[in-house]
């Protein structure tokens, strides 16, 4: 299993924290449900795109990098309109 260098890990974590703070600040008095699923869906698409770009669109390599079965990757790519 690959573990990101501490600097990258904390940077990604900090970016997510900042994005969530901004989301809540802009939310105002609106109520929100299913926030967990919303965040996962919003993050998953760009993550898949970045992995594919890094792997020169090689789905087999991208699936290994992501720790996903190739079939699962293809399913997720379809869900996000990336195929």
Question: What's the pLDDT at 10?
Answer: 73
Burial category of 52 from C-beta neighbours within 10 Å (exposed 0-12, middle 13-18, buried 19 and up): buried
**In the predicted model, what is the mean pLDDT of the chain?**
91
Q: Is the pLDDT of residue 62 over 80?
A: yes
Q: Is the pLDDT of residue 3 over 60?
A: no
Domain boundaries, the chain: 34-83
pTM: 0.76
3 Ramachandran zone, left/alpha/beta (phi>0; psi -120 to 50): beta
Contact 81, 49 (CB under 8 A): no
Question: What's the pLDDT at 34?
Answer: 95
pLDDT in tens, 19-57: 999 999 999 889 999 999 999 999 999 999 999 999 999
Fold of the domain built from segment(s) 34-83: Arc Repressor Mutant, subunit A (1.10.10)
């Amino acid at each position: 299993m690959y573990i990101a260098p501490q600097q990258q890990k904390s940077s990604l974590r900090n970016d997510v924290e900042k994005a969530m703070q901004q989301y809540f600040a802009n939310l105002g008095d609106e109520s929100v449900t299913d926030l967990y699923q919303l965040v996962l869906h919003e993050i998953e698409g760009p993550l898949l795109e970045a992995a594919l770009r890094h792997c020169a669109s090689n789905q087999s390599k991208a699936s290994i990098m992501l720790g996903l079965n190739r079939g699962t990757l293809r399913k997720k790519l379809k869900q996000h309109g990336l195929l």
